[in-house]
Amino acid sequence: MVGIGILGCGTIGPLHAEAVAGIAGARLVAVADQHLERAEEVARGAGGDVVARGDLHGLLAVPGVDLVCVCTPSGTHAELGCAIAEAGRHVVLEKPIDTDPGAAERVLKTAAKAGVVLSVIAQHRFDEGLDRLHRAIGAGELGEVVLGEGRAWWYRTQAYYDADAWRGTWALDGGALSNQGVHLVDLLLWLLGPVDSVFARSRTAAHAMEAEDVIVASLRFASGALGALTVTTASYPGAPETIAVAGPEASVLVESGRVVSWRSARGAAEEDGAVGLPAASAARGSRGLAVDAHRAQLQDVVDAVREQRRPAVTGEDGCAALAVVAAAYASARDGGDVTVA
Ligand SMILES: NC(=O)c1ccc[n+]([C@@H]2O[C@H](COP(=O)([O-])OP(=O)(O)OC[C@H]3O[C@@H](n4cnc5c(N)ncnc54)[C@H](O)[C@@H]3O)[C@@H](O)[C@H]2O)c1
């Protein structure tokens, strides 16, 4: 059994606890939060003999913790991940891998040196419709993909940003792209391959916050394909996020993880209508997230630990998504096309 610890018991930490409860070969051992009462509440909810602690040090001291899920503010992920890896434990970082590309590189190197598994949450890769699209692209069913588009027109209230001091700050969160849109960045990279360069424009339009709440980015992929991202948290009342991919043989539209349109040269409008399991849309906010996709990813990480292999989503994947986010921010700030580091 892989013993799991969870660090950070705010919004997403309790969902990790719920996800762990349903996976094979693992058990929840301990949870921690700097607000100890939050950890105690999650431990009580998990039942059994799950232990609650007030910090990472206390969590790592609990016997049987082999892997730690880091569910703290984004700008703290890499530093905490380094400490966990240096203690010889496997690491799952919530998305994004961090807000600072340099820190993200450090956690990659530290995990490699320690010989531990490092994964970054990208749970939408495990949504049925997106998994199916990924397999179809790999099998050449769309032909050579020419265009990919990700759209997240979501809504967050000012109260959402005001509730926690880290939200919407450059150091600890970033804006709509770094927090919400990074899911779409990861999916486009997974589906279309690496991005060479980015041109972006952004605004802070409807919220009092440091970072942006509206961003539009144009992507050029190494394959020659082009891409577009439109992401906002200022679009009342919020809409389900979509990924659209086009090729000469087929074009596919996925909404909230479900294929809603699959048009191919072989038979126009072969499928129109919802296909695949419904996935909760992140447009509804973290508390509305379905647990299944997190559970599927954590199951893969636990299997990777047990089988001594790399996980489906690696630290490198997390770094690649952050590099695109950083290039978009640099373009929006300084102007022009920015090469992805
Ligand atoms: N995968 C997803 O769809 C998804 C959804 C929501 C949030 N997230 C990510 O999860 C992370 C956390 O987001 P959230 O909404 O749960 O935030 P949150 O503010 O609700 O919770 C964070 C918790 O971490 C605790 N914490 C902070 N620093 C700590 C430390 N050093 N040691 C112990 N505890 C500490 C805080 O007390 C708080 O309870 C963010 O990086 C966010 O991007 C991912």
Mean pLDDT of 292-317: 97
Same domain, 115 and 135: no
Ligand 1 pocket member 58 (CB < 6 A): no
The whole model's pTM is what?
A: 0.95
Burial per residue of 267-278, b for 16 or more beta-carbon CB atoms within 10 angstroms, e otherwise: eeeeeeeeebee
CB 36 within 8 A of CB 54: yes
CB 68 within 8 A of CB 5: yes
Question: Residue 169: left if φ>0, alpha if ψ -120 to 50, beta else—which one?
Answer: beta
The burial class, CB within 10 Å (0-12 / 13-18 / 19+), for 57 is exposed
104: in domain:
yes
Q: Which two tokens stand for residue 264?
A: 């191919």
* Centroid of ligand 1 to alpha carbon of 77 (angstroms): 9
Mean pLDDT of 255-270: 82
Same domain, 243 and 327: yes
Residue range 34-60, pLDDT digits in tens: 999 999 999 999 988 999 999 999 999
Same domain, 206 and 249: yes
Ligand 1 test: best mutation among 56, 77, 94, most atoms within 8 Å of CB? 94
Same domain, 104 and 144: no
Ligand 1 test: best mutation among 18, 71, 298, most atoms within 8 Å of CB? 71
Lowest mean pLDDT among 189-193, 276-280, 309-313: 276-280
Same domain, 237 and 298: no
Same domain, 189 and 41: no
Ligand 1 pocket member 152 (CB < 6 A): no
Per-residue confidence (pLDDT) for residue 290, from 0 to 100: 81
Same domain, 178 and 73: no
Q: What pLDDT band is residue 289 in, cutting at 50, 70 and 90?
A: confident
User: What does the alpha-carbon distance between residue 287 and residue 268 come to, in Å, rounded to a whole number?
Assistant: 38
Mean pLDDT of 121-140: 97
**Phi (first) and psi of residue 80, to 5 degrees:** -65, -40
- Which residue puts its alpha carbon closest to atom 34 of ligand 1? 33
User: What does the alpha-carbon distance between residue 142 and residue 90 come to, in Å, rounded to a whole number?
Assistant: 37
Per-residue confidence (pLDDT) for residue 134, from 0 to 100: 98
Ligand 1 pocket member 123 (CB < 6 A): yes
Same domain, 45 and 94: yes
pLDDT at 272 over 70: no
Ligand 1 pocket member 177 (CB < 6 A): no
Ligand 1 pocket member 95 (CB < 6 A): yes
227: in domain:
yes
Ligand 1 pocket member 121 (CB < 6 A): yes
CA 179 to ligand 1: nearest atom: 43
Ligand 1 pocket member 8 (CB < 6 A): yes
Ligand 1 pocket member 316 (CB < 6 A): no
Structural domain for 78, as ranges: 2-123+293-313
Three-state secondary-structure class, residue 4: strand
DSSP character for 94? Answer: P
Ligand 1 test: best mutation among 42, 57, 72, most atoms within 8 Å of CB? 72
Same domain, 173 and 256: yes
Same domain, 58 and 174: no
User: What does the alpha-carbon distance between residue 85 and residue 67 come to, in Å, rounded to a whole number?
Assistant: 9
Write the CATH number for 156: 3.30.360.10
Mean pLDDT of 235-245: 97
Strands 118-120 and 90-93: parallel
- Calculate the average pLDDT of the chain: 94
Q: Structurally, how many domains does the chain consist of?
A: 2
Write the CATH number for 38: 3.40.50.720
Ligand 1 pocket member 174 (CB < 6 A): no
Ligand 1 pocket member 339 (CB < 6 A): no
* Centroid of ligand 1 to alpha carbon of 133 (angstroms): 30
User: What does the alpha-carbon distance between residue 36 and residue 27 come to, in Å, rounded to a whole number?
Assistant: 21
287: in domain:
no
Q: Is the dihedral of CA 324, 110, 312, 61 positive or negative?
A: negative
